[in-house]
Every structure is written in structure tokens, then in C-alpha cells.
Chains A and B, each alone.
Chain A
Amino acid sequence: MSANIDHLKEEHHQPSGLMRWITTTNHKDIGSLYLWFSLLMFFVGGLMALIIRAELFQPGLQFVVPGFFNQMTTMHALIMIFGAVMPAFVGLANWQLPMMIGAPDMALPRLNNWSFWILPFAFTMLLSTLFFESGGPAAGWTLYPPLSLQGGNSMPFVIFSLHLLGASSILGAINVIATILNMRAPGMTLMKMPIFVWTWLITAFLLIASMPVLAGAITMLLTDRFYGTSFFTAAGGGDPVLFQHIFWFFGHPEVYILILPAFGIVSTIIPAFSRKKLFGYDSMVYATASIALLSFIVWAHHMFTVGMPLAGEIFFMFTTMLIAVPTGVKVFNWVATMWKGSMTFETPMLFALAFIILFTIGGFSGLMLAITPADFQYHDTYFVVAHFHYVLVPGAVFAIIAAVYYWLPKWTGKMYNETLGKVHFWMTTIFVNITFFPMHFVGLAGMPRRIPDYAVQFTDFNMIASVGAFGFGLSQLLFVYILFLTLKQPVTAEDKSWEGAEGLEWTLPSPAPYHSFDTPPKVE
């Protein structure tokens, strides 16, 4: 037995090539896998968005048939949510959490490997449905019955791939929680943790609480379609609306899963480039926790027009508006952090600043949508599309890009080209607004979402949006170019790459060693 164990414990000769990545248990390797995978999916999902925008450049049908258009809107959402934004945040968590809390690695390294490797398989299965004779899923990413029950052969594949993605997220979240609760350096109490760690702890809780509910909902879809159950059929005593309730009980926490880590990133970057401590750390933590808890009692604001009792409409309207309070606390704290700071405007800071302004626009349109009687007008229009793209693109995606620029010197030991970074920022920010701002107008004027054709009076704004979308897509090629340019450089970055940066990760050399902290640092 002991010989066997010596064999297990000895420093293994690291396999090379593909096997290294398949078998790795290292949080940095897995973090890189997540981030590269996310970038790939960002472009796959982006390509679908461009197909949508090309079709919508003019009224009438130009490039695709309506059925394929619907597959594009459905797949674009599924890929961007589950393939681009969530894996990017998990990748950042993998890279940063052990370094930030002074741990050697994640708490459960094999599980970590598993949560990543589920993704490429599940997405291959999901994407393969596009090549089926009956096409891919076309009922929208929300998979509402009865429409989703009437799809082609893709349906069980989509559902099983979502099961797998959910399992991956839950395993990843369990790992994050175990790491944060159990692996902190001596002296790092909960209220001394970096704010990014806090936001991820709360995000992980949201994941574990909400992903299984999605699994339950889609399992019922599956049995309704193939085994004759009546969950979502009124004739048997069920209700299609039941699906919407269960789905959004998952779906609303899910949208905070997509934004809370972004809050953590912005709360890290703003103080670093303002050369001040984060204003109101404690209130930031409590605000994040409040947002998370509230997210479980607001779900029906996604379905105000479905025919709920008045009491339900009013309850969900007020709980939803309540979320503006902790969110307001956050925005106030970010602004107060910058107040009288010695600010500089490097690329990560620019993205973080744009985040604050543009995310707040998305937050305000969210407040408009929260007002039940007003929502009756906005529901299922492009106004909703404008709203959630403002919180997700200049929100979540900007924060991810900011984080990559901010931590890239720590990860690689190499500094990106600041001029190109700024060009990337300005192109991205200008085009993101050209793309999504006009959607507010066509939405308020009544253009419905998820249609390949539209009334002629919406043409001008749609043309502008399409031009913006292609510009945005091209700008991201510049991002990839900057990344490759950086990676080709020699190692020059200092341990502490930014003058105002704080945190344990900056005490490590750049690039950070393979095992972050073999001996835990002392936090006083």
C-alpha cells in the first residue's frame, strides 16, 4: 500500500500536448481552458448574432428562412449565456480565487477538470442539432411549451446538453464555495476577502440553488413530449404557464449569475486606478447578498402579460423595483470610490468606467420594464432586447474584457499594447451603443422581438443597429490580435503590474507560479 501511495504522491511527470490539457487538475490550466473556450463560443454566438443582424438590415426576407432565423436567435442566446459569459466567469474564478485567498489550488481539483470538460462535449451536442434534417431548437432559449414541444428531433439533444451544462455549473459552483470557505490564508476572515471573491461566493450559491430547478423544468418538458405526462397541458390539469414560473425561478437568479462576478471585477478595478480603497466595502457585500436573495422572489416580472392574478402582478412589480436599491448602493459606491482619487485611464479602467455608465442605462430600462402596466406595452418588443443587451454586453462582457486586460500581465508576465487596448475600447464602446441604443426606439415603437421581418417604418434604426453589430464584431477581432501580440512578447511585467492594485495575487511573481501559494501567506 505505501509504495502505491508514494507513487500517487510523487510529483508526476507532466504529460505534454493535448493530454496535458485533458488530464490537468491545475486551477490555472483549467482557468485558461475556460477562458479560451469562452472566447471561441463568443465568436460562434457572435456569428449567429451577425446572421440575425444581416437579415434584419432590411425588411423582407434576404438571407435566411424564418425557421433558421428562429434557430439563430435560440442558439445565439444559449451559446452566449452558457458558453461565453458563464465559462468566462468560471475561468476568471479559477485563475483568481486561489491567488486572491492565498491557496495552492482549488479545493476539489479533479471536479474542476470535470466541470470544464463537460462543456466542449455538451456544446458539440447542442451545435450538432443545427445540422439535423429538422434543424436545431427554434422556440427561443426559454423553451416555452407548447411551442418547444412541437420542435423536431433536436429537442432531447438540447435538453440533455442543458442537463450537462447545468451539472457542470453546479460542480463548478460547489468547488468555488468549498475553495472560498475552506482554503483561505490564515487571518483572511470573510469580511477581509477581496470583493471579487465575495461576489463569486454569492454567485456560486445562486448557481447551486437555481440550476437544478432548470434541470427539473426541462425534465418535465421531456416527459411531456415523450412519455405522455401533462405538466404543461391544460387538458390534463397542468398549465403551460407553470413552465414559465419554474423556468424563471431559475432564470432570474441566472441573470444575476451573469452579472454579480462582473460587479466584483469592476469593484476591483475602479479602486486600483483611482488609487483609493473601495468605498463602502461592507455595504458592497451586503448589497450583493441582497441582490442575490431578492433574485428568488422577482421571477414573474418576466411574464407580466401571461395572465397572472393582480396580486401577483403587484407583488412582483414591487420586489423587482426593490432590487434597484442595492444596485444603487453599488453604483454610488463606485462613483464615491473615484471621488477625489488620482485616476488614470488604462484600458481596464476604461472598460470598467464604461461598465458603470452603460450598465446603469440597462438598469434603468430594467426599472421601466418592472412597472407592470408599462410592461404590457414593452413586453416581447425590441425594448426588452435593448435592455438585456445593455446589461449583458457593456455589462457582463465589458467586465470580462476589463478583467482580462487587468490580470493578463499577472497570468502571462507580459503587458498588452496600451494604445491598441484603447483603440479596442473606443471601437467596442462606440459600436455597442450604435448596435443596441436604436433598439430602444424601435422597441418602444412596437417592433416585436424574434422575428426575421418587420414593418418598413423600423428600417432606419435597424440598419443602424446592423452596421453597429458588424463593427462590434470586427472590433473583437482586434481583441484577439492584441491577445496574440501580447503572448508573443518576452516576459517583462512586474509582480505588481498596476500602481494602485491591491491583493495577494500581486505579491506573486508575474507570470504566477504553477501552484499559487505552496505556503499560505499571512493576512493580518
Chain B
Amino acid sequence: MSGSSYYVPHETKWPFLATVALIIMFIGLANYMNDESNLTLTYTGLALLLLVVYGWFSYVVNESEGGLYDAQVDMSFRWGMAWFIFSEVMFFAAFFGALYYARELSLPWLAGEGSKVSTNQELWPTFENVWPSNGPANVGGEFIVMKAAGIPALNTIILLISGLTVTWAHHGLKEGKRNQLILGLTATVLLGFIFVGFQAYEYSHAYNDLNLKMTSGMYGSTFYMLTGFHGFHVTLGAIMLTVILFRCIRGHFTNENHFGFEAVAWYWHFVDVVWLGLFVFVYWL
């Protein structure tokens, strides 16, 4: 419920600068995609964006440490983060939907199932629906599937353990056990980056040894879109955890008041849950 102490920040330059940075980045990227320029403009925009993010967050952290945020502001942040994560869930849902649609509908139809039999007979009479598939035209050539048992299983264990370590760190924070907090958080960060490293290794293995590429038809498309988008989120999450780790080392947060920590922990659990979906539907089934 509303109180007169609700902190309304006055003028701010950060959002406007963030927009300028984003637009520079996107113009650069679009020109690069059109083969009209190199990536200089993109990197300029990105660098500017990172500066803005650093500046904006430093400002907010200062305000937070200065005690400007009361319980009601804290609740606004909680709602904000929760709904932001929900929006990310829906973003992933679009890609999972594409995977589901290809496996359950478009590939069976291309193989002549149901009323779509004439497509199969006229265009690709020899095509049979076997997942993984790069489609009736064998787009990208033969490839070998990424097995669930190797690195993906290892990565699943890594992420699950990291979920435990971040919770252990959270308990440390709440109970005032500083060593447990720092140790748990450090472990989480390390596990996060190890995951990303393994993922990068997996990609190079797929490209070099398995001929599994983004261009490998629907399997390659969904595989790289889903794992790539997830990997990007893990990277972001690990960077966010690193920032929180430094803040913890500096002595930020109290056992009562540590929304910054919790927001990143929520995000980390979200990334974890998405991975479980990926492991089951992309690698395993």
C-alpha cells in the first residue's frame, strides 16, 4: 500500500543514453547483415551500452546502499523482476513452439501424413519423417546428432548443482554466515562459466566433427536457436552473479534486505529450469 515515503527518483540521463547505445548497435548490426559495413558501429554501440549499464546500475546500487528504498519500493522491484522473467519465459516459448510444430506437424505432413499426402507425392515422394531431420531436401548435408549422454548430461548436473550452491549462499546471507555466502556464490559463478565453456566446446565439436550447423535444416535451426539463446542467458546470468559476488565481498546487502541478490538468484533458477526443458526436448527425446 502506498506511503508518502515512496522514493521517486528525479531526472535521469541513463534511459536516454541506453536507447542511443541500443540504436547505434542495431543500426551497425543491420548494416553488417546487409553486407554494407563491418562491425565497428555495432561494437561502438555495445561498448556504449555496457558503459551505460555500468553507470545506471552503480547509481541504483548507491541509492540502495544509501537506504532510499523502503519496503514498498522493494516490492515494486520484485513485481518488476518477476514479470520480466515471465516475459523471458514467453520468448523461449516461441522457440519451443517452433520445435514442437516441426516435430509434431510439419515433418509428418512433409512425409505425407493426413490430408497433406499430395505434397509428399508431388515434391518429395521418398521423404520419411525421422527426427532429427534436416528436411526432405537434406539441407546442409548429412550430420551426426548431438548425444544427450555426454556434455549435455554433464552440463545438466553442473547447472543443477549451481542451483543448489546459489541457494546455499542465500541461506548464508540470511543467517549472516559470510563465508558460506561468498563460497556458495563463487562456486555458482564458476559453475556458470564452466557451463558456458562446455557449451562452446560442444558447438566447436558439432561444427568441426559432426557437420551439425545452423544450416542443418530444422534440427540445426532449433538446436542452435534454443541452446544459443539459452547459452546467452546463462552468460548474462553468470555476469550478473559475478556482480552480486563483488557486491557481497564489498559487504553490500543485509540479511533482511538483499533484493539484488534474490533477483539474480531467481534469474539463475529460471535459466536452470529452461535448461531442463532443453535437455529433455532438444537433446534427449
Contacts and interface: CB of A to CB of B under 8 A. Distances in A.
A227 B213 CA distance: 10
Contact of B2 (A160, A177, A184, A226): A184
A121 B23 contact: yes
Nearest to B94: A216
B26 interface: yes
A239 B68 CA distance: 53
B90 A208 contact: yes
Contacts of A305: none
Interface in B239-274: none
Given A178-B79, A178-B83, A212 B91 contact: yes
20 contacts: A4-B62, A8-B9, A9-B7, A23-B12, A25-B12, A108-B76, A153-B36, A164-B22, A185-B2, A211-B87, A216-B93, A220-B225, A224-B221, A235-B135, A237-B107, A238-B221, A239-B109, A242-B106, A309-B115, A517-B2
Interface in B26-59: 26-27, 29-30, 33-34, 36, 56
B187 interface: no
B150 interface: no
B102 to A, nearest CB: 6
Interface stretch (A10-18, A74-82, A140-148): A10-18
A153 B30 CA distance: 8
Contacts of B98: 216, 220, 231, 238, 242, 246
Interface of B: 1-4, 6-16, 18-20, 22-23, 26-27, 29-30, 33-34, 36, 56, 62-63, 65-68, 72, 75-77, 79-80, 83-84, 86-88, 90-95, 97-98, 101-102, 105-107, 109-110, 114-116, 119, 133-137, 139-140, 213-215, 217-222, 224-225
B83 A212 contact: no
B16 A23 contact: yes
A12 B16 contact: no
A157 B32 CA distance: 11
Given A104-B4, A515-B8, A22 B13 contact: yes
A177 B83 CA distance: 8
A213 interface: yes
A107 B76 contact: yes
Given A2-B66, A5-B66, A235-B135, A25 B29 contact: no
Interface in A110-134: 110-111, 113-114, 117-118, 121-122, 125
B7 to A, nearest CB: 8
Given A9-B7, A25-B12, A220-B221, 19 more contacts: A1-B65, A5-B62, A5-B66, A5-B67, A22-B16, A23-B12, A23-B16, A105-B6, A156-B34, A164-B26, A179-B76, A212-B93, A213-B91, A215-B94, A226-B33, A231-B225, A234-B106, A309-B114, A518-B4
A118 B22 CA distance: 9
A230 B218 contact: yes
Nearest to A175: B80
B88 A212 contact: yes
Which one of B16, B20, B86, B220 has the greatest number of beta carbons of chain A within 10 Å? B16
A347 to B, nearest CB: 33
B101 A117 contact: no
Which one of A2, A235, A245 has the greatest number of beta carbons of chain B within 10 Å? A235
Contact of B15 (A117, A157, A184, A213): A117
A520 B94 contact: no
Interface string A91-108: 000000000011111011
A520 B80 contact: no
Contacts of A19: 11
Contacts of A266: none
A51 interface: no
A419 interface: no
Q: Is chain A's interface secondary structure helix, strand, loop, or mixed overall?
A: helix
A490 interface: no
B167 to A, nearest CB: 26
B14 to A, nearest CB: 7
Contacts of A11: 10
Nearest to B59: A8
Nearest to A152: B34
Given A4-B66, A216-B95, A231-B98, A104 B2 contact: yes
Given A117-B16, A121-B20, A239-B101, A25 B75 contact: no
A174 interface: yes
A489 interface: no
B139 A105 contact: no
Which one of B20, B110, B218 has the greatest number of beta carbons of chain A within 10 Å? B218
Nearest to B103: A237
7 closest Cβ pairs, A-B complex: A216-B94, A114-B15, A237-B218, A237-B135, A5-B66, A23-B11, A235-B137
A102 B80 contact: no
A174 B135 contact: no
Contact of A25 (B10, B30, B65, B225): B10
Contact of B105 (A160, A213, A239): A239
B215 A160 contact: no
Contacts of A107: 76, 79-80
A223 B214 contact: yes
A236 B15 CA distance: 42
Contacts of A12: 10-11
Given A235-B137, A242-B101, A170 B87 contact: yes
Contacts of B33: 156, 222, 226
Interface string A163-203: 11000001001110111011111100000000000000000
A236 B2 contact: no
A242 B12 CA distance: 42
